[in-house]
Structure 1
Amino acid sequence: MKNSYSSEMFNMSNNLLKEIIHYIAAPLTYSINLCLIEGVFPDALKLSKVTPVFKKALGKVFEGIIYQQMYEYLELNDMLSASQFAYRKGRSVIHAIELLVTDILVAFEDHAQTQETGGEFRKSSVKHTRGSTWSAAGI
């Protein structure tokens, strides 16, 4: 048996059982042999104690609740940039590309310049950042 302080229905852990095995070995052996001879397993030993511990799931619940509250607060107080597309409902990378293409086409038609800057953040570090200046003369 693995070392464990987790207890079962009778509040006995593996560690406790290992400590007292010398005292209970004879009656335990007799009981086990009697079960095998008679073909009967005691009903009291058919019970189990199940205690679910959802550590990771609980963390996800907290994360979801905090995210929702912060998102609603930022949206309600108009604190998110109009060009923020990631992690926002109703916005996607497609919307960002449409905005980029529209800005470039308008600048091209107006014979003007436009500066587009994009960034992608993953795992708290900058993966890619690029700035470009477009002009009608350059196309």
Structure 2
Amino acid sequence: NSSPEWDGISMKVFKRCLPAVMDPMLFVINLSLQQGVFPTELNLAKVIPVFKKGQEILICNYRPISFFLLFPKFLKKLMYSRLMSFIKRSNLLYSYQFGFRENHGANMALITTVDRILQAHE
């Protein structure tokens, strides 16, 4: 993604500066993971109303677009990845949990349901 975030830093610039900011970033990431806390100061977003259709004077004809800082996006993805890895490794999810899981979409839920119905009629 090459569009800049609300702080004006594009992904391209962020990637180029990464070697210079890696140590402080790792410190914040490790501290956040150790304490189990996401820094609220990093959870800020710039929200811009984008016109959809209809009368421009009506607020209901706009949808919000949120622009977050790059670093918190990265930190959230890392936290999600580690948490999902732990959950999978520990077998903590119900085997028929289809929502919000990789390779377990609505089609898998339908196939499983149809399969159970067919097995019940045998």
Q: Same fold (TM over 0.5)?
A: no
Higher relative contact order (CA 8 A, sep 6+): 2
TM-score (norm 1): 0.38
TM-score (norm 2): 0.42
